[in-house]
Chains A and B, each alone.
Chain A
Amino acid sequence: MGSLLGDWPSFDPHNFSQLRPSDPANPSKMTPITYHPTHDRTLPPPDQEAKNILLRHFYQRAEEKLRPKRAASDNLTPEQGFKHPRAST
């Protein structure tokens, strides 16, 4: 048994080094402070999309749709020029 027990892992040897077993009749009365955040960092960072997968997809599509299809060229004259009647041969 001794070989299985013992050699317990230690992260910091000081941890629990001064721990005194408490009276079993008296439970711990230490209570932590209750946290009430009032800062804005409770919200996820802006690059983190909190949206539903479906919505995200929807927005991506919407952006694609809004994007101009192709830049209009300054020279509005079609390269090929107007239609020409086919030269009859």
Chain B
Amino acid sequence: MSVWNYVVTAHKPTNVTHSCVGNFTGPQELNLIVAKCTRIEIHLLTAQGLQPMLDVPIYGRIATLELFRPHGETQDLLFIATERYKFCVLQWDAEAAEVITRAMGDVSDRIGRPTDNGQIGIIDPDCRLIGLHLYDGLFKVIPFDNKGQLKEAFNIRLEELQVLDIKFLYGCPKPTIVVLYQDNKDARHVKSYEVVLKDKDFLEASLSQNNLDNGADLLIPVPQPLCGVLIIGEETIVYVNASTFKAIPIRPSITRAYGRVDADGSRYLLGDHNGLLHLLVITHDKEKVTGLKIELLGETSIASTISYLDNAVVYVGSSYGDSQLVKLNLQPDAKGSYVEVVERYVNLGPIVDFCVVDLERQGQGQVVTCSGAYKDGSLRIVRNGIGINEQASVELQGIKGMWSLRSSTDDPFDTFLVVSFISETRILAMNIEDELEETEIEGFCPQVQTLFCHDAVYNQLVQVTSSSVRLVSSISREMLDEWHAQSGFSINVATANLTQVLVATGGGHLVYLEIGDRKLTEVKHAQLEFDISCLDINPIGENPNYSHLAAVGMWTDISVRIFSLPDLNLITKEHLGGEIIPRSVLLCSFEGISYLLCALGDGHLLNFLLSMNTGELTDRKKVSLGTQPITLRTFTSKNTTHVFAASDRPTVIYSSNKKLLYSNVNLKEVSHMCPFNTAAFPDSLAIAKEGELTIGTIDDIQKLHIRSIPLGEHARRICHQEQSRTFAICSLKYNPSSTEDSEMHFIRLLDDQTFDFISTYPLDQYEYGCSILSCSFSDDSNVYYCVGTAYVMPEENEPTKGRILVFIVEDGKLQLIAEKETKGAVYSLNAFNGKLLAAINQKIQLYKWMLRDDGSRELQSECGHHGHILALYVQTRGDFIVVGDLMKSISLLIYKHEEGAIEERARDYNANWMSAVEILDDDIYLGAENNFNLFTVRKNSDGATDEERGRLEVVGEYHLGEFVNRFRHGSLVMRLPDSDVGQIPTVIFGTVNGVIGVIASLPSDQYVFLDKLQTNLRRVIKGVGGLSHEQWRSFYNEKKTVDAKNFLDGDLIESFLDLSRSKMDEIAKAMSVPAEELMKRVEELTRLH
């Protein structure tokens, strides 16, 4: 790999951190706004459900998300504050369908200790001010003026240092906050303050309550007329206002989220750490609170946010499991639950670990993640591309073409499959036993190659061969009419639809026929100057049976032409450029937009927008799909038409949000495809590949496919073993029923096809599984699972004891072969020179696999290396060992065979708290740290002095904005050695927000080119809320902020493809590169993930 890296998101964040409901896009429109850390999603509530409107990337990690309505506004504004102390106020401009910035600014202070419990951002219910608690001991106020504009911000000293929550109270003549805090004796209290804007100070207000529940963590302000505040504890819930105090005990639970139901604040939904949803009711007599009631409604995902939407439907956003849309029913179901889950939204976060495996042995990586937490823990199998689920296949060599035919024009299903070979045509059909068997259509000519077949009106079929066009009855199967090509001019290419036939013969003759009842009529003939290479008359106009346009690809002048039908007048001629002839043309329509697709002999595909009225071709785009000629065919799946491009790299072309997308089909090479929709195999495709004819169904048309395996427990480490075809995981199961903090840790063995638990090894009490590895040792052909553990004792700061367990899989069971006690937690295990390398607390330790006299095996310590705070992450390459330390960044060690010793070679002297490391190549190492940055360091072997050689030089820095838990070498896409992107090495990463990303190492010239493109894109694509892309990607921690270097933001670069043509041209001009070339290069990058 290299120092020039391209970082791109393959799967966007799905961890829902915030949500709110209001009238954002219009006064009469109700919206759900969801924050997924670095993105917001705007949804519209409709009769059918939630309708996604917009996904808005934010150049920051969202700390606060609030809707509010200043006086005089008819719709809500959105306030966002980011973790890097930027804020903005966004407004929806419905006319332009744009998000506009009403205000923005920086609320950072040069001094101040960032709060431990996260940032708090709140808006006064009467819109007099915005309050922010960002630093201990300070409360920042941004006042509104009487026009609703934000004024100069100022700080007020806040006496309480350990603040747990702050909210504005309702119904106060002066803006008043209520503060929940912990004192230095760990007791919790609430206090309230009036914000005196004139004096820029607090005035203590009357509401206060001392010595609350020790777990009190959340304040809920109650609107008028009741006013006051609810204080949610772990064992009690308290309501307080100036004169009233009401409390109820609750079953011990930690409330993670709440959602207000009624505008008057009499009912609230509370979600706890076990995913239980409660309804909290304030009972009141007129405006006097008489008590509190709480009822269990049912179970959901563990909520991080709850938003009551409308008509008893509630959005439950989750950080630990899938987010949900739930309906509150009046009557309980059989299990006593009032909650019905009506929709589920995938969340991969937190991805704690993952592995890359080729489960289907197709040469393509699939990512299997440990996702979610607690009861919502799961494994997720993430696969790029579209799969074909094989239903039947037969060996058939030399297929030259395939077409499906129906037995009558209005039959919904296909009956026949015509398969053409170089010197014969065979017809297959489904028999009564739903088997494919060979049959005959008497009117067809079987002794020659078929060039084209199609159903025709009046229960007829059409077969085109090199000498003639035959019209055959689909009922009697007899020939009804035949049109013969002029002698000496054989038909080269042909196409047809239900009522029309177009053929091209040698010498550039184009002949147009129409199909009547038992009759073929030659309507028009045209003589072109060159030979014709491909044709299409797919009807995409108003008449589904008849096309007014014909697309014709030409030899010699390498052009594609549009002719009108029936008169064969030339309307448009588009030269394709280059020397590669078009091999397949297709008229098609996606989402109401008409396109002409034109595939070339070298695997490139051109697409044009086609005007159905004028035949004009515009917006030419070029992509590279493979290296071999492509054949284009339409097919239908789930009532939507897509295009299949058969080639050495089969691709499905589809449209989403009016943009053409290309998704790989997970097959190696496909020469021909035709839809074959039979009663037995509905919605199937017939696929000719590598001497085989396969009938199969196709996956849903989307780029990433995610399969979920719910575990009901939290998987923390995963490893695959090819030989036993198993996965092993370290997991823990919480026992919520017992009052004591009880959790059980396991090593589980799973079948890699069914994902069933097939064997379990329970760990000891207090023993955690920390690392897992599949490896073999020198002088032993067996493959083992090695597991590193730690005994986590409540009274110890760091574990002082752990174990390394060596298992073998025998008869589908985990058999313990050896165990070795360690003096600390085994954070990492690596196979190393036929031995086992373990990271144990501060130490790196190497173990040999020794044969005892009795034939049994044991791990024997060989050598080690001290000198880390905690060696958490280890990667090896040859004799080199790269260690990611808890707080001392990356160091490089070397194993010296002769001396049997491990020595430090170099280190990065920065104080980075690491979260993952990976070796990119011999000299470049990649790290991720806990301020959401990525960086690369380089080994400086050529340094002049020992000091220089002993220092790992920081060569790349980048703010990812994501917490990376794991890097793994591998690729999500099938890598073809002869494609351009096939040469680019990649590393995959997984994050807490559920992001799966790819880091690709680029050659220097490509990096320079894309860096220039990124600079130009920054000028055209503006940061929402006025946030700067350059600042967002700058490396940032408590000590320094420096511009990103040697990393490119692939998400920004690939958004080039979403721009309008005029903006693309603007950038192309600035780059002095044709827009088409830019599109092609960026499109190729999208094929990395």
Contact = CB atoms under 8 A, between A and B. Distances in A.
Interface in A1-56: 1-2, 4-6, 8-22, 24, 27-45, 47-53, 56
A11 B1060 CA distance: 37
Q: How large is the interface on A (under 10, 10 to 19, 20 to 34, 35 or more residues)?
A: 35 or more
Most buried by A among B48, B88, B700, B1063: B48
A15 B45 contact: yes
Given A12-B310, A36-B1058, A42 B1026 contact: yes
B311 A43 contact: no
A77 B1009 CA distance: 71
Contact of B51 (A4, A22, A30): A30
Contacts of B275: none
Contacts of A51: 105
A32 B54 contact: yes
Given A22-B343, A45-B102, A32 B42 contact: yes
Contacts of A28: 343-346
Nearest to B30: A11
Interface string B78-105: 0000000000100001001011111111
Contacts, number: 184
A16 B98 contact: no
A27 B312 CA distance: 21
A61 B639 CA distance: 68
Interface in A43-75: 43-45, 47-53, 56
A37 B1024 contact: yes
B657 interface: yes
B45 A12 contact: yes
Nearest to B266: A4
Given A15-B30, A36-B1055, A27 B1063 contact: no
Nearest to A5: B330
Give the interface SS of chain B, mostly helix, strand, loop or mixed. strand
B487 interface: no
A42 B1025 contact: yes
Nearest to A14: B47
A47 B149 contact: yes
A29 B702 contact: yes
Contacts of A37: 98-99, 1021-1022, 1024
Contacts of B54: 32-35
Contact of A35 (B57, B267, B279, B702): B57
Contact of A18 (B48, B106, B322, B702): B48
A42 B52 contact: no
B261 interface: yes
A41 to B, nearest CB: 4
Contact of B313 (A13, A19, A32): A19
A36 B1023 contact: no
A31 B311 contact: no
Contacts of B105: 44, 48-51
Contacts of B263: 9
A42 B344 contact: no
B101 A44 contact: yes
A38 to B, nearest CB: 6
B911 interface: no
A43 B1063 CA distance: 19
A42 B101 contact: yes
A39 B311 CA distance: 37
B310 A11 contact: yes
Interface of B: 28, 30, 41-43, 45-57, 88, 93, 96, 98-106, 149-150, 152-154, 261-263, 267, 279, 281, 293, 295, 297, 308-313, 322, 327-330, 338, 340-346, 656-657, 700, 702, 706, 708, 1020-1026, 1055, 1058-1060, 1063
Interface of A: 1-2, 4-6, 8-22, 24, 27-45, 47-53, 56
22 contacts: A2-B330, A8-B311, A9-B262, A14-B46, A15-B46, A16-B311, A16-B312, A24-B344, A27-B706, A31-B52, A32-B41, A32-B43, A32-B52, A32-B55, A35-B54, A36-B1059, A38-B1060, A42-B1026, A44-B105, A48-B149, A50-B106, A53-B154
Given A1-B295, A15-B47, A53-B152, 14 more contacts: A11-B30, A12-B28, A12-B30, A16-B327, A17-B311, A18-B47, A20-B342, A31-B656, A36-B57, A38-B1060, A41-B101, A44-B1026, A45-B102, A48-B150
